[in-house]
Structure 1
Amino acid sequence: MTKRQIALLACTVALTASGLGAAAPSAVSRTVHLVKPGESIQKAVDAAKPGDTIVLTPGTYRESVRITTSDLTLLGSGSASTVLVPGDATAADACAKGGHGICVTGTDSAPVEGVTVRSLALRGFTANGLWASRTDRLTVRKVLAEKNGKWGIAQERSTRGVFSHNTARNNADAGLFLANTTDTEAGATDTKGTRVTHNSLSGNRIGLTVRRLRNVTVAHNEATGNCAAVFVVGDESKPRAGAMTLRRNDIHANNKYCPKTPRLPFLQGSGIVLTGAEETVVEKNRVVGNVGASPLSGGIVLFKSFVGAPNEQNAIRDNVVMRNSPADLADRDTGRGNTFTHNTCTLSEPAGMC
């Protein structure tokens, strides 16, 4: 954010406080809270009302922030100049104690609605850069999440989220992680149209994980240098995971090596992997140069989930899938109704799909 923009926002606050802005009804109910390095972001968030904006001026902020009020905007001055890093390790706040940078949390009966987090960086938190639970219409835009101990940007139990133009890099697990729940077993959640678009994902264990969800669009993202680029994960629970669209993503050279975990084998060279998913369309993606020897390696891979649930009724079409190894297209599953059509590729498992 430029000095001129900050000054304009400050002027708006002054006009509202003086009553001179009364000619604009929307300004009366919306306040801008300006925070400078050394001041408490949390204090401003706690004082804010629905519709307010908290503006962070350039600098480094050593704290975690918890948002529980709907229709708030937390606005930095750009991911290169407004940075949140871990603060007091003994803080009593649940967000800080959990090792997160920003937490947006509601309840089952009252989700937090319409929150926006924009134009800042979240770096070096022991758990997640941004953690959201029980939200509706959360927007995360132009956020840099890097070198966090688990996920860069993560959300569960939520609907209609928008994640766009973010950069998630060098996080210990997924750069972006979207799930139904993280602490219980349950069927897939209908997200009512969550969108993941124009993000850059690099150097993570997995670029993007979408776990046990339905009705998600993943489009125009770039993933490179991860151990695996995109995982769509389901299981035998009902409703099944799926009914998604993965379109026009650029997936290339995800050849970092990551050792096995109790849940997954070692990862290297995985482009787009579907496990236990149904009715998902994978189309018009560029998937190039993903090379490895893991059971999950290859360009676009269908693999039975690790609890035995097959992929079914998925459409893999019109993709450019080249120079991946051991195969460009790999159907390593026994599920029915999966189709591979009009893809540009050289080698498939089984043969004949290119």
Structure 2
Amino acid sequence: MKRNHVRYAAFVAVLLGAGPGAFPASAVSLPSARTLTVHPGESIQKAVDAARAGDTVLVQAGTYHESVTVKTSGLTLRGVGPRTVIVPPPAKKAAPSPKAAVGCVEGGKGICVIGLRDKPVVDVTVSDLKLTGFSRVGLWSMATDHLTVQRVRAEKNGQWGISQEHSTRGVFKNNVARDNGDAGLYLANTTMSEKGATDSRGLVVNGNTLEGNRNGLTVLRLRNLTVQRNYMTGNCTGMIVIGDENKPRAGALTVSENYVLRNNKYCAKTARLPFVQGSGIVLSGAESVLLTHNMVAGNSGRSPLSGGVVLLKGNVGAVNDKNRVDKNMFTGNAPADLVNQNASKGSNLFRGNLCRVSIPAGLC
């Protein structure tokens, strides 16, 4: 027994004292993270294609005429601030790289972060750059998990500034989405078909400036997210949550500490909505939404959607249910600070709000 103990002690000593050459390098080392730097005149897409998980593609100040597709998990695509500008490529240079997903360039999108429905791209970060002038979307993401988009400026794009579909655990913080054709920030389960809301698993929208869009923020058929400390102004609608008759219902989200001010831009009617102007926060067919400690002021118009906080029946008649509008501050909204168009249906709670006028009366 003593001999076995001595042998075991000697074996442990060898392990603890083993030098760098004791084991094959491939058994103990992982590829180190790299920074691939892109300068004006060079291709961002080529650097992204060459990158591997853990790498950073650093894009220096300048204007880059291209669309970029990211399909590598663990990748960071970072500029140096709004002086890193990505704009559409000239038509003669519109062919994507071999690894780029067909549809990003042709689809009029600036940056595309794309995974597969059964295998999402994970832990990608896009930050510190500007996307402008794309015919559809500045930054579009599909089938991602824990995508972080921060300090991105998405301006004057034809449809959405920044968007995400079929994804989980996204983080959108400290971005600016301004003067886009539809939503500044668009978050959905899917746009192409009507299905029940999906669980975003804690998506976070924090500290963004959403200005001059049709909708500052659109949340379409999603559940389990937080919208906090954002600044929404100059849109037709500051924020809209959209559900329908499908289940699970849209909702189960918290909207808190946001400034929703003077969203008085005029937007013409569409096939699904009347004209919009002066809408602060709109809930349409949503359930279990908590609106709390928001400042909602100066939203004024004559649309059926006008007012500070508006509960509107969905297009298919889906009512809002089990929502709480609690401890918010309202001023200068017209036709009212609180508007509940649910008629007698639903069980929504209004309490502790600082407001003056409601439709119907008695909600303040």
Is TM (by shorter chain) over 0.5? Answer: yes
- 1:136-285 to structure 2, matched below 5 A, reads 136-285=145-294
The SS at the match of 1:97 is: coil
2:71 is the counterpart of 1:44: no
Q: Is the 8 A contact 1:89 1:96 kept in 2?
A: no
Report how many aligned residue pairs link the two structures.
330
Distance 1:251 1:85 in 2: 30
Distance 2:318 2:199 in 1: 19
2:350 is the counterpart of 1:340: yes
Larger radius of gyration: 2
TM-score normalised by the chain length of structure 1: 0.91
Which residue of 1 is the match for residue 36 of structure 2?
Answer: 33
1:184 deviation in Å? 1.5
**Consecutive unaligned residues in structure 1, runs of 5 or more:** 1-21
Distance 1:133 1:28 in 2: 28
Query: 2:306 pairs with 278, 297, 310, which one?
Result: 297
Distance 2:76 2:191 in 1: 26
- The AA in structure 1 aligned to 2:177 is A
Identity of aligned residues (%): 57
Q: Is the 8 A contact 1:50 1:70 kept in 2?
A: yes
Distance 2:244 2:315 in 1: 8
1:333 deviation in Å? 1.0
- 133-142 or 91-100, which moves further after superposition? 91-100
Distance 2:90 2:198 in 1: 35
- 1:30-109 to structure 2, matched below 5 A, reads 30-79=33-82, 81-89=83-91, 91-93=94-96, 94-109=103-118
Distance 1:322 1:62 in 2: 45
Q: Is the 8 A contact 1:89 1:97 kept in 2?
A: no
Q: Is the 8 A contact 1:65 1:95 kept in 2?
A: yes
- The AA in structure 1 aligned to 2:124 is V
Distance 2:116 2:30 in 1: 29
Distance 2:30 2:234 in 1: 45
Distance 1:288 1:142 in 2: 26
TM-score normalised by the chain length of structure 2: 0.89
1:185 deviation in Å? 1.7
1:182 deviation in Å? 1.1
C-alpha RMSD over aligned residues? 1.3
Distance 2:165 2:144 in 1: 8
**Consecutive unaligned residues in structure 2, runs of 5 or more:** 1-24, 97-102
Q: Is the 8 A contact 1:128 1:151 kept in 2?
A: yes
Q: Is the 8 A contact 1:152 1:174 kept in 2?
A: yes
1:89 deviation in Å? 2.7
1:26 deviation in Å? 8.8
Distance 1:336 1:182 in 2: 26
Residues 242-287 of structure 1, C-alpha deviations (whole Å, 9 max, x = no match):
1000000000100010100111110100000000000110000000
Distance 2:285 2:194 in 1: 15
Residues 116-172 of structure 1, C-alpha deviations (whole Å, 9 max, x = no match):
000000000000000000000000000000000000000000000000000000000
The SS at the match of 2:136 is: coil
Distance 1:180 1:135 in 2: 12
Distance 2:54 2:128 in 1: 18
The SS at the match of 2:91 is: coil
